[in-house]
Structures are given as C-alpha cells and as structure tokens.
Structure 1
Amino acid sequence: MDLLCARSGPAYTLLFIFLSFVCLCAVFFNLLVIISISHFKQLHTPTNLLILSLALADLLVGIFVMPVNIMQLGDSCWYLGKIVCCLFPVISSVSLSASLYSMAFIAVDRYIAICYPLLYSTRVTVCRTKLSLILGWSYAAFYIAITCYFNDHLLPSQISFKCYGECVIIVKYSWMIVDVVFSFICPCFIIVILYSLIFKAAVRQAKAVRAVVNAAPKVKRSNSSETKAAKKLGSIICIYLVCWIPFYFSCLSVESLTSLSMVWTVFTWLIYINSSVNPLLYAIFYPWFRASVKFIVTCKILESSSSRLNLYKEHSLPNA
C-alpha cells in the first residue's frame, strides 16, 4: 500500500513528467538527425554516417526502451506478455551496445581526421564506414545472442513472476564481470584514449599556426578555437563517463542484480539519458544540422530538389 501511494504521489508525478520529457527529447532530436543525414545528399559522408548510426541506436532507446521502463516505474507488473519480456532486454542491450560502439567509431574517425588529415580521404571512405557499421551492429547482436545462450539471464528461466505478468531480469555476477570488460572497459578505453590524442594533436596544430602567423588577431583566434575544442572534447568524455560508469561499478558491488532494484533503475536511466544528450554533442551544434532543421521544420524538404541543397551555403546567408 505504501509503495502504491509512493508511486502515485507528487514526487512520482514529477519524476514521470521528467522521464517522459527525456524520452521525447531522445526521439525528437535523434529523429531530426536521422532525417537530416538521410535526406540531404551533401551529408552522406563517413563521419555523418557514423552519427546516423548513433542516432538510430539512440532512437531505438527513446522509442522502445524508455517508454517500457517508464511503464514499469508506474507498476512493476508486466502487461506485455512473456515474449516481449524476453525480447525487451535483447533489444535494449543491442541498441545500447550499438550506441556505445558508434561513439567508439566516431572517436576513431575523428582521430584519423585530426592526426592524419592527408590520409583521411583514402583510409576512411563511405564503403568502409558502412562495412564498419554493419560489423558493429552485427557484433552487438551476436554478443547479446551469446549472452542469452550461455548464461540464460535474458531467457524465461531467469525471469521471476511474483505477480501476474511481472518481468524481472536477473544478471549473474560472473557474467557481469565479462560484460563490464567487453561492453564498457574496451569501448571506454578507445574513446578516452583517442579523444586525448585528438586534443593533444589539436594543441600541437594550434601552436604550429601561432608559430607561423605572428599577427595578434590570428593568435587570439587560435586560442579561441583551441579553447572551444578543449571544451567540446572534455564535455563529450565527461558526459559519457558520468552516464556509463555508475551502472557498471554498482553492478560489481553486488552478487547479482535484478531489474527491479533501485540501483538498476537509477543507473540505467543515466545511460538512457545519454541517448538524449548524444544528438546535442555530436550533431546539433554543427552548422549543417541547424540549416537542415530549418528545412525540416518549414517542410521545405518535401520539395523535389531539396535533397541536393548546399546546406553550408544556406547557413552562410545573413538570415540563416
């Protein structure tokens, strides 16, 4: 009775509104990114394809994973049936893994672009990027399938039904250690190390520019761009770590973890919130994205020739 009152009180109502807002942001922003990159041919570049993959994974989280978790916050009983109960953790794990791998691919792409700019066009092509994304998504699906087959913690045998239709997932400690290594430590190592190298390369390039160009305005502009690069890289790494570290560290502190525990609920929502923030970090601050949003909102993308528009030129106009 107390639990029911707690879930129907003002605090829960505010929580429900906040989480619903996070869910809507994840769907809206990621959908804008997907429409922009898919529609405008100018945006069909290797980097943008990686951002598209990230947006697709985060859109799955916003459309499927978040609403189901919001529903479970209101009532722990499960009304979607046994099949969906088994499929839900699979879809959730695949989409989150694909999102994480896409961020790692973006870090690799940016590393090659900044540290080896002359070789970028030959090493990173659209075909190779598509192949990498296919392998990344396939690996995510294969990893979850292996998890289900060998550990059974996503199968009905490990699902507890304390009330009619209740769906509780139990994750064993032994497999959680393996999951931490392959699903967190490896991608985290790649992302943090590569972005650190990118920042060092950006600092070296800024110093080289200042050594060649001695004019005061140029020096100031270089310092400004260096500061912006530091803030952007720092924000990407910090937000990524803040959203992902708590869940995996908490998982290692208990023998087993269930989807109804408070630890699971709070820290998984941190990961879900990351899916709402990713479009802001990887796309929304780019000029091409702001220009494409204007065409989408004003329905100009319905015009037959809109896919061939030069978004960079449109953005450079005085009223853009």
Structure 2
Amino acid sequence: MLVTILGNSVVIISIAHIKQLHTPTNMLIMSLAVADLLLGVTVMHFNTLIAFFFPCSVMVGLYTKILLVAKEHLRKIDDSQKNSNERDKGVVSQRSERKAAKTLGIVVGVFIFCWLPFFHTTYSLFEVFIWLGYFNSTANPIIYALFYPWFRKCLNLIVTLKIFNRNSSYINVFATT
C-alpha cells in the first residue's frame, strides 16, 4: 500500500508540477495514477483491514469461547471435588477429569471442523487474485521509473526537495545533464 501511495503520488506531483510534462499522454498517465492512488488509499486499506483483522477477531473470539468452556469445566471439577468426601475424592476427580477432557476434545474438534474450511476455501484464492490485481496499481510507478528517465529525475527533485525551488516547474527533465 505504501509503495502504491508514494509511487503514484510522485507520478501525480511530477506531471502536475513540471510544465514540460503537460502532454496529452502524460495527462492520461496522471489520471491513471490518481485512480491507482485512490485505490491504494481507500480500497487496499479497507481490504487489508477485512482480510487480516476479521479472521483474527473471529479466531480470538472463538478461542476465547473455548477457553471459557474449559474454565467452566475446570470450575465444575473443582466444585465437585470440594463437595465430595475424602473417601470418594479420587474416584470423582478421575471421572470428572476424563469427562472434561472428552468434552474439551469434542469442542476443539467441532471448532476445527467448522472453521477450517473458512480459511482454506476459494475465498483465500479469491483474495490472492484480488491482491494480484491491486499489485497493478503498485507496479505502474515502478514501470515508469524503469522506462522513463524523466520520472527518475522528477523523483530526485521531489526527494531532494528541489521541487520547492523558484521556477522548478520549468526544469527541463528531458535534458541528459
């Protein structure tokens, strides 16, 4: 996301600021960069939140549920041990522990059965393809940097803050010096 936002910002600033770059072709490139920038700022941001935080919050909630069930079973075992007399203590404790272990095993097994498909379905594959599509917005400024020397010169002007110098919009970015 950061490369998408920064890279497309450099494209927009370069073409908007340098008068020599005000050509129909570059205006098309700038409009594409604006669309890619908006995608990086909005869509990629929200999709990241959904893709990472939603499954994590679901998992935290479900693990919390399992832990609460386990805690409740352990509390019941502890209560049954306190209420039994010393002679029956070993028998009750051993039967209760087996029951709790069996119940927890079933709870965890059902949890895995119900949620494993959620994380290994075509939804995951769909997300991969969505992010591959988003990568196009990241790749465009990289392509410009590789194929347009003027882009690299503009990037240098922006990074070194020379773009704020007087008359910087009239710099000849096509000059080889």
- Shorter-chain TM-score tier: 0.5 to 0.7
- Asked whether the equivalents of residues 33 and 283 of structure 1 are also in contact (C-alpha less than 8 Å), the reply is no
Aligned residue pairs, count: 111
1:95 is aligned to none
In structure 2, the gaps of 5 or more residues are: 56-121
Relative CO higher for 1 or 2, CA cutoff 8 Å, sep ≥ 6?
A: 2
Runs of at least 4 residues of structure 1 off by over 4 A? none
> How far has the Cα of 1:48 moved from its partner?
0.7
Percent of aligned pairs with the same amino acid? 49
- Separation in 2, partners of 1:284, 1:37: 17
- Residue deviations 1:231-251 (CA, integer Å, cap 9, x gap): xxxxxxxxxxxxxxxxxxxxx
Deviations 1:253-295 (A, max 9, x none): xxxxxxx922321111110011100122245521111111111
1:39 equivalent to 2:17? Answer yes
Cα distance in 1 for partners of 2:20, 2:7 equals 20
1:24-47 CA deviation, whole Å, 9 max, x = no partner? 111111111111000000000111
Does the 8 Å CA contact 1:27/1:63 hold for their aligned counterparts? yes
The structure 1 residue matched to 2:126, chosen from 264, 268, 279, is 264
Written as runs of structure 1 = structure 2, the 5 A alignment for 1:1-320 is: 23-76=1-54, 261-282=123-144, 284-313=146-175, 316-317=176-177
- Provide the C-alpha distance between the structure 2 equivalents of 1:53 and 1:284, rounded to a whole number of angstroms: 20
Query: What TM-score does the superposition give when structure 2 sets the normalisation length?
Result: 0.58
Q: Which residue of 1 aligns with 2:83?
A: none
**8 Å Cα contact 1:51/1:283 also seen in 2:** no
In 2, the alpha carbon distance for the partners of 1:266 and 1:46 equals 35
Higher helix share: 2
Structure 1 residue 306: Cα displacement: 0.4
Q: Tell me the equivalent position of 2:90.
A: none
Kept after mapping to 1: 8 A contact 2:14/2:151: yes
Identify if the C-alpha distance between structure 1 residues 39 and 284 changes in structure 2 by more than 3 Å, giving closer, same or farther.
Answer: farther
Q: CA distance change for structure 1 residues 43 and 59 in 2, over 3 Å: closer, same or farther?
A: same
- Code of the aligned partner of 1:56: V
- Any idea what the Cα deviations from partners look like across 1:203-240, whole Å, max 9, x if unmatched? xxxxxxxxxxxxxxxxxxxxxxxxxxxxxxxxxxxxxx
Q: Any idea what the Cα deviations from partners look like across 1:137-178, whole Å, max 9, x if unmatched?
A: xxxxxxxxxxxxxxxxxxxxxxxxxxxxxxxxxxxxxxxxxx
Distance 1:294 1:279 in 2: 14
For 1:69 and 1:27, the matched residues in 2 are separated by 15
